[in-house]
Chain A
Amino acid sequence: MTDSKLSTFDRKDGQLVIAHVLFAFAALLLGGIAGMLQGMVKGGTITLPANIGYYELLTAHGVLMALIFTTYFIVGFLYSGVSQTLGGRLLPLTKRLGWIGYWLMSIGTLIGVVVILLGKASVLYTFYAPMKASPWFYVALALVVIGSWLSGFGIFYQYVQWRKTNKGKLSPLFAFMSVITMLLWQIATIGVAIEVVVQLIPWSFGWVETVNVVLSRTLFWFFGHPLVYFWLLPAYMCWYVIIPKIIGGKIFSDALARMSFVLFLLFSIPVGFHHQLMEPGISHFWKYLQVVLTFMVVIPSLMTAFSLFATFELNGRSKGTKGLFGWVKVLPWKDVRFFAPFMGMLIFIPAGAGGLINASNQMNAVVHNTLWVTGHFHLTVATSVALTFFGIVYWLIPVVTGRVLTPRLNKLGIIQTVIWCVGMFFMSGSMHTVGLLGSPRRTAYSTYDDHPDAIMWIPYHVAMAIGGIILFVGVLLIIYNIIALMRAPKGETEYPIGEVSDASEPTPRFLENWKLWIALTVILIVIAYTIPVIDQINNPTPGSPGYVTW
């Protein structure tokens, strides 16, 4: 087993990691330009030149931020920890799968972005039928998904080989969590793969006349909800495994951390209907059942909150702090590797609160398709997850390229984090408020013929634009920091893997019983989806032809 303290990160593995990280941030930059322009259009500050559509930009923004930035960073981050903890080097087959996955995803991304910017796929990143994009848009998406499957297989292979050569040993926590994350992804993407390959590609090529719209939406959201946990779990991995090391503390409980991830695997998928609460074609009963299952997936987050606070408190007490909140004083606030992810954690509180409201069955009517929802996911993925990923970069790039983080870059990182939080406070805060007042999401500038309701929304949209501009400054700064990190002074940086606290209970073997967890995951999916989906197939919504409404 590799001693994580002293060995250098494998150079070739480092190239695979860096390739993913740099592609992710290139996507963030492009997506960020789009986002800023959107905000300015809605705020009434600019009008776009004739050949750029608002909805084209919005499609690019969603795809680049929510699918490309996230997936690439996650794969790169997971591969880094898998290399580090499962033997110190990726096996040849793992590396090959990682690279093939990377190239497939990249070809798909390129085709997709070109088609979007050519105006042939202004269907947003949810591409709801019967709006019909160019078939090459769907082909591009399929390539990205298939590429990501190969990336996942690489991680599984490395893990399985490690288990074979380390019989009887508990797997490293990072690796266990990586397997859960990619397993979740593999199962979740089955839904969107069926939608795209079986329904949309033949229909968009014209081989099939009509599409079952309700079924296509159901298949999408089978994927769309666990997608957000695919984003969240790697952030949780940083919080559980990396942060304790960075603060000089210990992991509170290995067993409970694994248990929370198992619960995420079980309850992230059979819940897609909570994104379909306001639509026809699905009965109350199944909507409510999936709402109940959705509330169950809150539980591992409640567990995580306790674990993290406990980690901080025990760290404080071991350093002599007293009282309920003395532990706050000894946290490394000036260390961006802690501060950025910590802000992610803090902001997850309002983020999660919003999510609970969104999923609350009929209460969803208050917020559905309003800017509240946009505000919500800018807190969850665009702050909690994004800031955590930004915080990771300050040690990840040095570790895998043989460099060190300088005090100057650390300072710039703190500044970038603060800028991000300020921008997001204005933007997401306004979005939540104006959403409650009824302002719709995914909508370009409009006063609805000067209707008083719409006029009332304008100041909030202006605040959103200001927030968006501040965030764009944040985007430019993180890009600068990344480039600077790639050129930082050479040196050795340790991969910060946390150690488990001595007081933590030994981890029960059943947590690593994959057959059990996969079986339960499948059973829950079967319970939540079989009857409504069979009904959608046997009593189908009459099919729709395609429309190009842009």
Chain B
Amino acid sequence: MHMHRLEKIWLTAGVSMLVVFLLVLGIMTFGRGIAPPNEHIHRIDPTKVSETPPFDKPQITKIGDNVYKAVMVAYAFGYDPIPMEVPAGATVHFEITSSDVVHGFEIPGTNVNVMVTPGEVSHVSHTFDKPGEYLILCNEYCGIAHEMMKTTLVVK
């Protein structure tokens, strides 16, 4: 099939651009670990969340020098535990599951934006350099009070 010279050049340029984007994304994912969330597949019985450790006791604990683990449960229409507070510069590893329907877990202004699916555990991390009261909201429609489902993380 003959293709006009200029169309060939255009498609070469276009495809090259796509390849460059894919390489950047691929290297970040597989080389640098800057990947979409949830590398590890970690399952849980969604009807037994309140009985299954560590989700039977949602809490935020210090696990290293300015490193924290936040074990959380999402439910219609809020998050446990409340309240949550960490010092500025803290790295928080969130581990969260849902005790009912699919929820979202988004911190506006950051790249923390994951789905929380019943039966699965979501893992996402973030370093909070700037102090403030960070909004954490549900961005996956989950029912009648979806727009009220939120919590905050205070970074001092």
A–B direct contact (CB < 8 Å): yes
Contacts of B102 in A (CB 8 A): 128-131, 213, 217
From B21, B108, B115, give the contact of A279 (CB < 8 A).
Answer: B115
Known pairs A365-B36, A550-B143; list 19 more (Cβ under 8 Å).
A55-B144, A214-B119, A279-B122, A280-B38, A280-B114, A280-B115, A280-B116, A280-B117, A280-B122, A292-B22, A295-B22, A306-B7, A365-B112, A440-B137, A440-B139, A442-B139, A453-B109, A547-B76, A549-B100
- Report Cα–Cα, A282/B37, bound state, in Å: 10
Contacts of A549 in B (CB 8 A): 76, 100-101, 142-144
**Given A214-B117, A363-B25, A442–B11 Cβ distance below 8 Å?**
no
Contacts of B135 in A (CB 8 A): 448, 451, 453-454
Mark out the residues of chain B between 89 and 121 whose CB falls within 8 Å of any chain A CB in the assembled complex.
100-102, 104, 106, 108-109, 111-121
Interface size bracket, B side: 35 or more
- Decide yes or no whether B61 CB sits under 8 A from chain A: no
From B25, B76, B121, B152, give the contact of A288 (CB < 8 A).
Answer: B25
Cβ contacts B26-58/A at 8 Å (1 or 0 each): 101110001111110111111100000000000
Identify the closest chain A residue to B42 (Cβ).
A280
B30 to chain A, nearest CB (A): 7
- Decide yes or no whether A202 CB sits under 8 A from chain B: no
What number of residue pairs across chains A and B have CB atoms under 8 A from each other? 216
- Report Cα–Cα, A45/B118, bound state, in Å: 36
Contacts of A453 in B (CB 8 A): 108-109, 135
Cross-chain contact A542 with B43 (CB below 8 angstroms): yes
Identify the closest chain B residue to A362 (Cβ).
B36
A47 to chain B, nearest CB (A): 13
**Given A55-B146, A310-B4, A445-B147, A368–B22 Cβ distance below 8 Å?**
no
Nearest 5 interchain pairs by C-beta: A438-B108, A549-B143, A440-B139, A541-B119, A446-B147
List residues of B whose CB falls within 8 A of some A CB.
1-4, 7, 10-11, 14-15, 18, 21-22, 25-26, 28-30, 34-39, 41-47, 76, 100-102, 104, 106, 108-109, 111-123, 133, 135, 137-144, 146-148, 150, 152
Cross-chain contact B36 with A278 (CB below 8 angstroms): yes
Interface size bracket, A side: 35 or more
Cross-chain contact B101 with A287 (CB below 8 angstroms): no
Contacts of B123 in A (CB 8 A): 280
Identify the closest chain A residue to B152 (Cβ).
A451
A189 to chain B, nearest CB (A): 23
Cβ contacts A451-473/B at 8 Å (1 or 0 each): 10110000000000000000000
